[in-house]
Structure 1
C-alpha cells in the first residue's frame, strides 16, 4: 500500500513538473500582439514604386515561433515576379500610349 502511494505521489510530481516545463517553454497559448508599424525591420522604398528586386531583397526576421523560410521565400519570389510582370505591362502600355499621335485619335462627336 505504501509503495502505491509513493508511486501516485511520484507520478503527480513528475506530471506537474512536465506541465510546468511545457508551460514555460511553449507559453500560455496567447496570440502575439500585432507588430508596431513604425518598428518593422522590413524597409520598402517610400520615394518610388516597389520593384521585384525590392521584394527579393527583403529579410524577414525569424523568432522562436518563426516561420517556414522556404514558404515565405517562395511567396516573396511569387510577389516579386508579379510586380516585375506589372512593371513590364505598364511600360508596354505607356510606350503604346506615347507612340500614338493626335492624328490616330478619332474626333469625338458632341
Structure 2
C-alpha cells in the first residue's frame, strides 16, 4: 500500500519537472525590474555633492546594473569634458609626472 503513495509522489515530481522544463509551468527567478525612484542619473554640470546623493535600487545580486551603468557613463563623459581643456593646455612634461 505504501508503494502506491511513493509511486504517486514520483509521478507528480516527474510531471512537475517536465512541465517546468517545457515551459508550461511558469517560473522566473529574475522578476521584472522595478524602480522606487524616477532616475538616479546626474544632471548636466553636476557638482560633487550630487554624486554622493546618488542612490540605486537594489536587485537580486546587488544594484540595478542599468542604473549604475547610466551614472558611470555620465561620470565618464563629465570627466572627459573637464579633462579636455586641461590636457590641451598642460605642458607635456607636467602631464607625464601627474599620471
Smaller-chain TM-score range? 0.3 to 0.5
Give me the TM-score of the superposition, normalised by structure 2: 0.46
Greater strand fraction, Structure 1 or Structure 2:
2
Give me the TM-score of the superposition, normalised by structure 1: 0.42
Quick one: higher RCO (CA 8 Å, sep 6+), 1 or 2?
A: 1
